[in-house]
Structure 1
Amino acid sequence: MIQLPFIQRLKWEEYMALFLGFFFVIFEKLLSCLAFMIHNTLGLFYRSVVRNEIKKRSKKRSRSRSVSLQRAKAIHDAADIREMCKISGYYVEDHLVRTEDDYILCIHRISKDSPGRIGSPHPKKLPVVYCHHGLLMNSEVWVCNVDPRNCLVFDLVNKGYDVWLGNNRGNKYSRQHLRFDSTDKEFWDFSIDDFAQYDIPDTIDYILKTSGQTKLTYIGFSQGTAQAFASLSIHPLLNDKINSLIALAPAISPKGLHNRVVDAFVKARPSILFFLFGRKSILPSAGFWQSFLAPKFFDAVLAYCLSQLFNWSCQNISSYQRLVSFAHLYSYTSVKCLVHWFQIMRSAEFRMYDNDQLGHDYFLKYYKAAKFPTNNIRTPIYLIWGGSDSLVDIQAMLNALPAEVEHVKVDSYEHLDMIWADTVKDYVIPPVLRRLRDIHHPPEHEENDKENREIQKNHIAPRNKPI
């Protein structure tokens, strides 16, 4: 009997995942074509229904509740980060960073100064904080809180810090290259390796030069923490430019996905994933579906996907906050970047991208992609992680990082709760501020903040804080 190598290489879960993935891609394409034809009429109908529903609810609520609904709708409908910040009385200054490999990254500086006066005519020499988003996100995720008291970025600005928000190549704000168009396959040929090699160090150098400082504090969320870990591990001199790395919902080597079939699919051979999704941007039609579907329906679909993939309930995030957050959640990245994460999940180690795409057990004896040497990081690290976060394997993370790492656990938090939960002001912002006060002398206008001084003096957590 003739033996087929392809048949022998895959397990039954992988065959099922391959079939379902292929069916999903075909179905999604057909559905996109159908939806495109009725978008102009049905899309307008959906949006008018939602607006009328919000107006009706606003009349039935108290004035404060009505204000919250109006604010939620304004942030939900905002076209970009500039409009989102303006709603809360903050301003955005755009800066363009050219990486060594010729990508143009747009990063944002947040301030209460009026446009054109942020950092002008001379830098204010304030302590610098650089925040970086997670996978399939952009800088907007930091400023879409319905309750501004839960917005870490705005609180840092109020406390007197010079706050910058980064963006990865390929996302909404960073789709420019000096040699390639975003429609070229070469533009999307990047993974976590490239974020670590170019995006993070080049952005940090630009921020320090522009702000006139020699060091900054890095605050990362999810993949934004992994990019920092990787970059610090391969750029030893970068450790001298970051006085502390604060990692929210840190990620190094997630165990996998909640759904067994999907988990087998994403851990399959990269060639299968590239066959299904191509070698450019992952799910490029996602933006179309978000604009087409009614917000509540889109919210329900995304919540179902998060539940199936990661077993997240999002119970700590209010319904209105979830509507707003999900509207600004998705941003483009490369298929190669997702494949890189799937390789990391499969190996259960934080490794560089496997260009040979071998990935099967019988090759491990002869070849492995290089591990990021994260134990060599010299920058002080502070982890804040959720006890219900399925993507955080805290013990594996502590084993991969230097022994001096400090960490704080928030028992009831899932992954997205770190930036969007209704209790961020109680469970996340206070430890971040305490960490920053340990690094910097408090700005003058913070000296009268009695509550913060008491927390720092007694080293206690806020009331009812389960960490």
Structure 2
Amino acid sequence: MSNLGRLTYADMKIQAVGIIQMRQSTLFGFGFGCTSLIINQFVRRYKRSRIRFCFTFGSAEIRQSASDERVTWRAKTMATVEVVFFLICSLACAPAARAGTIQNFTQMAASNGLECEQYEVTTDDGYVLTLFRLPGNSSRPVLLLSGAFGSADDYIARGNTSLPAVLARAGRDVWLGNVRGSRYGMRHRTLDPAGSAFWDFSFHEYSVSDLPAIVDFVLNNTEQQKLSHIGWSLGTTGVYVLGSERPEYAAKFRVSISLAPICYMHHSPAQVLAALTAPLVMPALALTGTDGVFVDGSLERSLVLSACSSPATAYGVCMQALYPVYGYDADEMEPEYAVKFFEHYPSSMSRKALTHLAQTIQQRRFQKYDYGLLGNLRKYGSLSPPEYALGGNNISVVLVSGRNDLTSTLPDVALLRRRLGGVRRHIVLEPAKFNHIDFAHGINTHSVLFEPIILSLLEEYDDS
């Protein structure tokens, strides 16, 4: 039987260490214990669950059925919910955030001996986006885009084994883009990020405004007609939307390599998270006037930096909250690196973009933003939002999947392959535990994916 979701003894041990380090405050322990009692009442409704996190006054016990190695997706989701509540309860006594000591993209590039240039791109609706470049052969530009809650930082965090470093050493002209509302997309010609108007965008605007502006900027600066694109997670989605909404841009792509493609999520635990957050979290954010989440300096971002500040807590607690949704692969994420991971993730994102993503998950349709019946009538002339015409895409796309990716699952990518025009092939990586995070952050991803597969794909499409 598969053990992809299994918590090993070593993982339970480091998680316990993390909890012990966090129970130093009596206030924290009491708050965490009370919250755990509430959440466990919710967890008990799921009688078939094989795992339950039992936190009481800051101590932890993990109970797992010895007769079943597989942790059910429902149980893992409930575990995630409890860890999230733990993080919220820890805020009151968390140590001061250390944001001032965290390296930005250019600093990380310099520390790894990589030459880096920085540019500004202005979209057609006034957003000012930061674009990074690791200069190389300008006749072969490659554009990298990260996913939800991401930024260019995700790609370079691994240093000399990161994808930008591998591409730069191969002589590629590497460009890394950032979308509006992310850490490097917090400016506008007239709008203030403190106001709601700044955050009035979803992933539709990433696709039809940000991506075209970045593509045109790169091509103009390199004096080329085409570029290659590599996207990860939601960084793949923009190409599918762009190809259907603005088909003239197909001529500007040699190839788009989709790492962990995000379009359909019918088989992902994200279904459960969307069902929980859509009716609960989103209205709460709207009620409090929170239009952007995880903005640098915000309460929630400071919480992550504080709670995930040591190897024991970053891996033993914080990372465990992500594994149930992204897939469990302890071999590719060492505890020391988990601290660096949370220094840069999650980056800021708009509430509207999250809502749009949740809508596509819940309604099981890859569609435009749902404004409600009356809003849809005004916006689209129909009661429901139209689906994106994926079949009309003419950009050459190569899909790349991980066998243990619980966010971009194999059945969902197979559905995307059937419906998206321009798909040339679908590559499934060999490692059995390769998950959603590994595409950018796995310790061995350079030898599994970057060097043997991505470099070969880029060479294959160089003359297309």
Could you tell me the TM-score, scaled by structure 1's length?
Answer: 0.72
Residue 357 of structure 1: how far off its partner (Å)? 7.0
1:105 to 125, 129, 138: 129
SS at match of 2:248: helix
Shift in CA distance, 333/404, structure 1 to aligned 2, threshold 3 Å: closer
Q: Specify the alignment match of 1:352 in structure 2.
A: 368
Q: Secondary structure at the match of 1:301?
A: helix
Match of 1:372 among 373, 388, 395: 388
Q: Per the alignment, in what secondary structure is the counterpart of residue 262 of structure 2? A: coil
Q: Which residue of structure 2 lines up, in the alignment, with residue 436 of structure 1?
A: 458
TM-aligned CA deviation for residue 233 of structure 1: 1.4
CA distance in 1, matches of 2:281, 2:386: 17
The answer for the alignment partner of 2:36 in structure 1 is: none
From 204, 213, 217, the equivalent of 2:224 is: 213
Equivalenced residues, count: 373
Q: Report if the CA contact (8 A) 2:83-2:318 is conserved.
A: no
Cα distance change, pair 388–277 in 1 and its aligned pair in 2 (3 A)? farther
Moved more, 213-222 or 270-279: 270-279
Q: Distance in 2 between matches of 1:269 and 1:368?
A: 22
Deviation at 1:220, TM superposition (A): 0.3
CA distances 1:82-103 after superposition (whole Å, capped 9, x unpaired): 1101111102211101101100
1:415 equivalent in structure 2:
436
| Aligned residue type for 1:266 | T
Q: Which amino acid aligns with 1:97?
A: V
Q: Which amino acid aligns with 2:304?
A: Q
- Is 1:137 matched with 2:150? yes
State the match for 2:343 in structure 1. Answer: 327
2:310 aligned residue: 295
1:226-245 equivalent positions in 2, closer than 5 A = 226-245=237-256
Deviates more, 1:250-259 or 1:237-246: 250-259
Q: Could you tell me how far apart the structure 1 residues matched to 2:154 and 2:458 are? A: 21
SS in 2 for 1:127: strand
**Do residues 318 (structure 1) and 334 (structure 2) align?**
yes
Q: Offset at 1:323?
A: 2.9
CA RMSD of aligned residues (A): 3.5
2:355 is the counterpart of 1:339? yes
* Structure 2 residue runs without a partner (length 5+): 1-41, 47-80, 376-381
Q: Structure 2: how far apart are the matches of 1:208 and 1:140?
A: 22
Q: Residues 114-134 of structure 1, C-alpha deviation per residue, up to 9 Å, x if partnerless?
A: xxxxxxxxxx63300000011
Please give the secondary structure, in 2, of the residue aligned with 1:345: helix
1:196 shift after superposition: 1.0
Per-residue deviation, 1:342: 0.5
Tell me, in whole angstroms, the C-alpha distance in 2 between the residues paired with 1:238 and 1:381: 13
Is 1:258–1:311's contact at 8 Å kept on the other side of the alignment?
no
Q: CA deviation at 1:276?
A: 6.0
1:19 corresponds to: none
Report Cα offsets for 1:412-456 as digits up to 9, x if no partner.
211011122122122211111111111226xxxxxxxxxxxxxxx
- Judged with a 3 Å threshold, the aligned counterparts in structure 2 of structure 1 residues 260 and 438 are, in CA distance, closer, same or farther, namely closer
Of 266-275 and 219-228, more deviation after overlay is shown by: 266-275
Instruction: Decide whether the 8 Å contact of 2:225 with 2:252 is kept in 1.
Output: yes
Segment of structure 1 superposing worse, 290-299 or 248-257: 290-299
> Match for 2:370: what amino acid?
D
1:321 corresponds to which letter in structure 2? Y
Give, in whole Å, the separation in 2 of the partners of 1:26 and 1:423.
32
Classify 1:434/1:277 alpha carbon distance in 2 versus 1 (closer, same or farther; 3 Å).
Answer: farther
Q: 1:273 to 1:311 in 2, by over 3 A?
A: farther
Q: In the TM superposition, what is the alpha-carbon distance from 1:268 to its structure 2 partner?
A: 3.6
2:207–2:241 Cα contact (<8 Å) kept: yes
Letter matched to residue 320 of structure 2:
Y
The residue that corresponds to 2:105 in the other structure is 81
2:197 counterpart letter in structure 1: E
TM-score normalised according to structure 2 size? 0.72
Q: 1:41-69 CA distances to partner (integer Å, 9 max, x unpaired)? A: xx68xx9xxxxxxxxxxxxxxxxxxxxxx
Mapping for residues 106-121 of structure 1, pairs under 5 Å: 106-111=130-135
Quote the Cα distance in structure 1 between the aligned partners of 2:271 and 2:180: 31
In 1, Cα distance between equivalents of 2:257 and 2:270 = 30
Residues of 1 paired with 2:186 and 2:392: CA distance?
33
Q: Name the stretch that deviates more: 409-418 or 277-286.
A: 277-286
Q: Distance in 2 between matches of 1:267 and 1:434?
A: 41
Q: Hey, what's the Cα distance between the residues in 1 that align with 2:83 and 2:448?
A: 39
Distance change (3 Å), C-alpha of 1:432 and 1:311: closer
1:202 deviation in Å?
0.8
Aligned pairs (5 A) from 1:30-429: 32=91, 35=94, 39=95, 78-111=102-135, 125-145=138-158, 148=160, 150-255=161-266, 258=269, 262-268=273-279, 272=283, 274-275=285-286, 278-283=289-294, 284-293=298-307, 294-296=309-311, 297-356=313-372, 367-392=383-408, 393-402=412-421, 404-411=423-430, 412=432, 413-429=434-450
> Which has more radius of gyration?
1
For residue 263 of structure 1, report the CA deviation from its aligned partner.
Answer: 4.4
Quote the Cα distance in structure 2 between the aligned partners of 1:209 and 1:403: 25
Q: CA deviation at 1:257?
A: 5.2
Evaluate the alpha carbon distance shift between residue 97 and residue 310 of structure 1 in structure 2; reply closer, same or farther with a 3 A threshold. Answer: same
Q: Any idea what SS the aligned residue of 1:405 has?
A: strand
SS in 1 for 2:118: strand
Q: The residue matched to 1:141 in structure 2 has which SS?
A: helix
Judging changes above 3 Å, is the alpha-carbon distance between structure 1 residues 395 and 110 closer, same or farther for their aligned structure 2 residues? same
Structure 2: distance between partners of 1:340 and 1:208: 30
Per-residue displacement from partner, 1:104-145 (whole Å, max 9, x unpaired)?
Answer: 001101137xxxxxxxxxxx6330000001100110111111
**5+ residue gaps in structure 1?**
1-11, 17-21, 48-75, 113-123, 360-365, 442-467
Instruction: Note the 1:15-30 alignment, pairs <5 A.
Output: none
Q: Offset at 1:208?
A: 0.6
- Aligned identity (percent) is 22
Change in 2 beyond 3 A, CA 1:24/1:422: closer
Read off the aligned partner of 1:242 and give its amino acid letter. F
